[in-house]
Structure 1
C-alpha cells in the first residue's frame, strides 16, 4: 500500500477539483486539499494521512459519486486519515450531513481539545467482490475534546469490521451506529473469522440518537477448528 503523508499547520479540504486540473489551470489555495484529489488517491488504492497542528476543516461538499448522493467524499481502497495534532485542535465539517465513504480503506479521525464534529462515515464492500475486508472506522480525541458525528456504518464485508470512538469529553452520535448495515459480516473462507465490533467510550457522557447494531454470520468452510463468529457492542461512559 502506498501512503501519502501531508503535514501542515492547518488544512482546509475544499469542494470539487484541484484548480490545477481546470481549463485554464489556476493556482490552488494555500494549505488546501481538494475533494477530488482525495477521492482519486483512495480510488487508486493510495492511503492519505493528513496531519495538522491547528486543525482540519472540511468545507461543504456539493457533489457525490457519479453525480449522485451529493455531499460525499467518495473513496474506495485507500484509507483516509485526518489527524489534528495540537492540544486544542479540531476536525470539523461545515455541513454535518456530508459523508466520507470508503470500501476497503479505513477512516481515521483524531483531534485535540477542539474536538471532532463531522457528518456521516461509511465503509464496506460487497462480499462477492475481490478482497472484501471492509475499512474500519476509528475516532479519538484528547484534552477533553468532544466527538459529534452523524451515522457511523460499515455496510458489509468479511473478517474484522470495527467501529471505535473514544472521546476524552462527550460522545454524541446523531444517527445510527451499525456494523453489517446491508448484510452480515462473514468470515474469510479458510481465513479470518467473522467479527462485527462496536466500541464506544467517553470520559464524560455518551448520547446515541439512533440505532446501534453489530451483525456477523459464519459461513461453513469445512474447517471447524478455532472457528468462531463474534458480534459485540461495548458502550462505556465516565471512563
Structure 2
C-alpha cells in the first residue's frame, strides 16, 4: 500500500498517472495547499520542502520499514525502480528517459509554473515577467515538439516516466492558454497520452479533490508567500 499526499496540480498528476498505469494500490491523503496543509508538522516530517506530492510506501522492495519519498521526479524514479516499469532497462534508452525526466523537473515545470504565476495568479500584471516566462515556456515547448519528431514518446517507442512528468505541464492554465497551433508533434503526443485509460483515471482522481474558489490574500500567503495587500 502506498500513501499518496496529493493535491490536483500538475506535479500531483504525475504520480497518479504512474500509480494508475501500474495498478498499484494507493490511498490519497489530500494536502490542501490553499489552506496551508503543506506546513503542518506531520507533513513536514517526510516532505521537508513543504511541497506535495509525497509518498509513503508501506511495502518497499526488500521489506523493512516504510520508505517516504518527496519531489515528484524522485517519486517517479522510485516507483519505476520498485515496479520495473516505465523506465527502460537498456542503458541508452534508460538515460534518454532520465534526461527528459530531469529536463522537465529543471525546465518545463518551473518555467511553465512561473508563466502561470505571472499570467494567472499575480495580483497585478508585470509586463517584463509575463514576456520573460511566456518566451521561455514557448521555447521549451518547441524543444519538446522537436524531440517528438518521428517518436511516439519522449524516450522512443515506449511510454515512460518522462512522458508522465511532462504531460501535466502542457498548457495547464485555462485562464492563460498557450499557443500550440504550430507544435504538431507535441499535440499528437499529448492527445495520445490523454487517450490512455490510466490517464482518464488519474484525471478523475483530480476531479474528486478540485476546489474552485476565489484566490484570497490568505491563500496567496500559503501558496506563494505573498504578503497581504496594503
| TM norm. shorter chain > 0.5 | no
* TM superposition score normalised by structure 1: 0.24
Structure with more of its chain in helix, by fraction: 2
- If the length of structure 2 is used for normalisation, what is the TM-score? 0.25
